Structure 1
Amino acid sequence: MNETRATNPVFPPGRYGHRRTPGARRRIVPIVFGVLVLVASVLLTVQLYGRYGQTDYQSRIVGWSKDSDTRLTVEFEVRVPAGGTATCVLRARSYDGAEVGRREVRVANPGAEGPITAREDVPTRARASHGDVVRCRASS
């Protein structure tokens, strides 16, 4: 039985130039690219968390009341640092979950300790079933 073995070709020295070892440079490029993508992702995450992450302006729904087909009253609490002002976005939603009204309100903390309770009307386009606070952030 004749066996054939695959071998690499042998070239005369100096005739075809310098031969590189296979894969040495090819492995470095993806590694460098992966490290750059990882660093950029971390920097972007830190920047976005600083802008939209956990804030001192935490809110909680206390309740809501359906006054009419064109208005919903939302009662909520918001924790605002002493002497600060928060801008909160309130939303009214219909029974099927569609947004039927939205309003932006300002809540000021004159220096009292604890959460501030506010009661605000949200104008609606149709009858609303419930209301909620979308977000609260520092007023500019």
Structure 2
Amino acid sequence: MSKSDRVADQPKPPSGPRATYPTEQSPQSRRRWFIICSVGVVVLGLVIAYLGWKQFADPEISGSATGHEVLSSNSIAVQYTVNRQNPDEAVSCVVRGRAQDGAEVGRREVLIPASDQVQVGARTVVQTSRPAVIGELFGCTAAVPSYLQPEN
């Protein structure tokens, strides 16, 4: 055996287009990538659906101002409704008055006591530091501060 015979037995390294471009993948490899990508798309879709549901689902407690009445240059009455999924719990709401320039000129925290009604209407007078032109319900929460707890 000569030295040249041993070189001929070894496979030739690829050259030309086969060396530049990868060889085709096996069907099993393509199927595996398809399954991995499909599972990834489904998981991503479920995460997006959950985040959308959390963002746009009905909140446990919501409220809206239904009207206001300017009583004097330093007070405004605000009428509002509060909706809650669990009416057995007390709710704390913040009602405020705003001036012509949009500045908050008065604020009051109000306790909505537990009841058997899901929707409760209320009216609150807010003292202001200057004339208010609108009264609004800023927000409501189930985390009632201790100083607003009803006396038993």
Same fold (TM over 0.5): yes
Match of 1:99 among 101, 104, 112: 104
Matches within 5 A, 1:41-56: 55-56=59-60
CA distance in 2, matches of 1:114, 1:89: 19
Match of 1:82 among 82, 87, 93: 87
Q: 1 or 2, which has the higher helix percentage?
A: 2
Equivalent residue, structure 2, for 1:120? 124
User: Post-superposition shift, 1:139?
Assistant: 3.4
Equivalent residue, structure 1, for 2:75? 71
CA distance in 1, matches of 2:142, 2:118: 17
CA distance in 1, matches of 2:87, 2:130: 37
User: Post-superposition shift, 1:60?
Assistant: 1.2
Aligned length: 119
Equivalent residue, structure 1, for 2:66? 62
Q: Is the 8 A contact 1:55 1:137 kept in 2?
A: no
* Root-mean-square deviation (Å): 3.8
SS of equivalent residue, structure 1 residue 61: strand
User: Post-superposition shift, 1:58?
Assistant: 0.6
TM-score (norm 1): 0.59
TM-score (norm 2): 0.55
Residue type of the alignment partner of 1:107: I
List structure 1 segments (4+ residues) > 4 angstroms apart after TM superposition: none
Residue type of the alignment partner of 1:73: A
- Mark the runs of 5 or more structure 1 residues left unpaired by the alignment: 1-52
Equivalent residue, structure 2, for 1:3? none
